[in-house]
Structure formats: C-alpha cells, structure tokens
Structure 1
Amino acid sequence: MKKLILLAILTVALSTTNTFAQSGYKTALGLGIDFGDGSTLVGPSVKHFFNSHDVIQGDVLFGGDATWIGGFYQYHQSFKEASELRWYLGVGPQVALYDGGSTFFLRPIGGLDYKIKTAPVSITFDWRPAIQLSDGSDFEPARFGLGLRYTFK
C-alpha cells in the first residue's frame, strides 16, 4: 500500500512539473491595469495555472472613486512557433464597490500572455469588455487590460 501511495505521489509530481514547464510558470503576482473608456484602474493582480490550460486570475483594482474586485477563468493555449507566447480566452465576474453601493459586471476576456524566457516576468495584454448586470444594464466594449507580474515556478 505504501509503495502504491509513493508511486501515485511521484506520478503527480512528475506530471505537474512537466505541465508547468510547458506553461512557463505556475503563479504570477504583480500589477494589473484596466483602461479604456472611463477611469483607469490600477492594483494588485495574481494569476495561477492549475495545469497548462486552466488558469484563474484575480484582481483588486482602484480608480474612479471605487474598488473593483474581479476574477477570471481563462483557457490558455501556446503557439507552436513561440512557446513563451500564449493566447487565452475566459470570463469572470467583477464588482465595483463605491460609497453608497455596488455594481456587478460580467467580463469576457481574450488576450496574449508572454513569459520572458530569461527573466521571471510575465506580460499580458487583453481585451475585456464590461457587461453591467445591476443598476440598469450597460455594455462597455472599449476596455483593455495590461499585466506585469513576477512569476514563480
């Protein structure tokens, strides 16, 4: 039984190492910027790979007299010719908290993630339109994201 458990742990460890070697990094922490029509939002951002394709990203951004808290599920895929560059698509909720209330949004996302091969740095650029779900409805198509994060294996 002990040998079976040890074999299972070793298999998971080796497959995890291979998966994250393909993605370039496992977790990244740094600065997120959301800009476009309206206010520019800036704050901490974290991105975590569960495997080479399934990723979550969380942001706490400040701007426009509000605090914006959001999370995204993202599906990543590498380019064959440039393994450090990946495209991704995803979606997630976001809430804007301001004096006197809150507003909820749904945020589709699509972009590029580039891991600098010689440095522990990831740079992302994405399109992230905002679909307002509360306080009436609205659609803001001209919103973009920029991320600069320190990467961890």
Structure 2
Amino acid sequence: MKKIILPILMAFGFLIASTGVQAQTPYRTALGLGIDAGDGQTLFGPQIKHNFGGFNAGNAQVLFGDNITVLGVDYSYNQRISGARGLSWYVGIGPQLSFIDHGKWDKDWYDDDDHWDDDSHVDVAIRPAVGLEFRIPSTPLAMHFDWKPWWNLSHSSHFEPGRFSLGFKFVLK
C-alpha cells in the first residue's frame, strides 16, 4: 500500500499544479516533508498542499513511524499577514487514519504453542490545526509550523493536545 500512495499523491499534485488560482497562500501547490512530533513518537513523511481558490487549501500527508503509518487530509482557511511578505496564518481541520501494527512472535515458554500475536488495528482521528506558513521570498521554498492536537475517536478514545507539525516544502507553482 505504501508503494501506491506516494505516486498517486505526486500525480495529483502535478495535475492540480497546472490550474490557475489567485491564492491567499504565497503559492498554489507545494510538495515536501512533514514532521509530526510531540507527546508520543515522531512521524515523518511526504505531504502536498494545494490552494483551491481564495482562502481555501487542502493538505494531504502520509507519515511513517515505528509500527505505524498515518494517512491524513486537512482543509485549511489561509490568510496572508499584511506587511509580512511571504508569511500567512491558517486554521484547519481534517481526518486521519492510523494503521498500527503491533504484531509479534509469541514464544510460550510453558508449552509448544508458539504463534503470531496480531494486535494490528486502524485508528480514526480528527486533527484541528492552527499555524504559520512562510514562503522564502524569491525562492521556491516554504515552511510551516503548527499546533495540531490529536483527537483519537476509536480504540480507547483520547485527546493529545501536545502535538505539533513542522513542514518543509518545494513550491511547484
């Protein structure tokens, strides 16, 4: 599955990069690396952000960690900060799926019943976000930093407020 998702996201990015829109983000489409850190493990992976017109943008990412793959999409409302060239703020929200694989070989010392313990499952979460994005003037580079809490809705629902995201992007258009 991991081998299929990245090429699909890249093809989608190149397809929508050719459309013309007056964006409130300092670019139309960008591809890059996302880092999700805070309480719990740190996740890394590719991401794409596209402005759909005016203040509306979408972001998609696939993040990888130890025994976890996270697929997420976000909607964000983006607004340029006047007087600060290349700087904008955003607020958004989106769902994510976490594919968790805690399977392990269980060797029982008391009998010959060795077997594979499969504790794999999929978690559903909602992720609000509030952040800043900066496109370096006169370059095709941008970065963002946001507060992105994690509200898990399945498998012992819980809220993790101490999560943040950092991203480095190459601006396509």
TM-score range, shorter chain: 0.7 to 0.9
Map 1:4-153; keep pairs closer than 5 Å: 16=20, 19-20=22-23, 23-99=25-101, 100-153=120-173
The CA deviation at 1:137 is 1.1
Contact 2:91 2:129 in 1 (8 A): yes
The CA deviation at 1:136 is 1.8
Q: Whose Rg is larger? A: 2
* Distance in 2 of aligned mates of 1:122 and 1:49: 14
Q: TM-score, normalised by structure 1?
A: 0.85
Given residue 51 of structure 1, which amino acid in structure 2 is its aligned partner? G
Given residue 64 of structure 1, which amino acid in structure 2 is its aligned partner? D
The CA deviation at 1:52 is 3.3
Q: Which residue of 2 aligns with 1:5?
A: none
Q: Gaps spanning 5+ residues in structure 1: where?
A: 1-15
Given residue 117 of structure 1, which amino acid in structure 2 is its aligned partner? P
Alignment root-mean-square deviation, CA: 1.2
Q: 1:60 to 1:39 in 2, by over 3 A?
A: same
Matched positions, count: 136
Contact 2:31 2:48 in 1 (8 A): yes
Q: 1:118 aligns to what SS in structure 2? A: coil
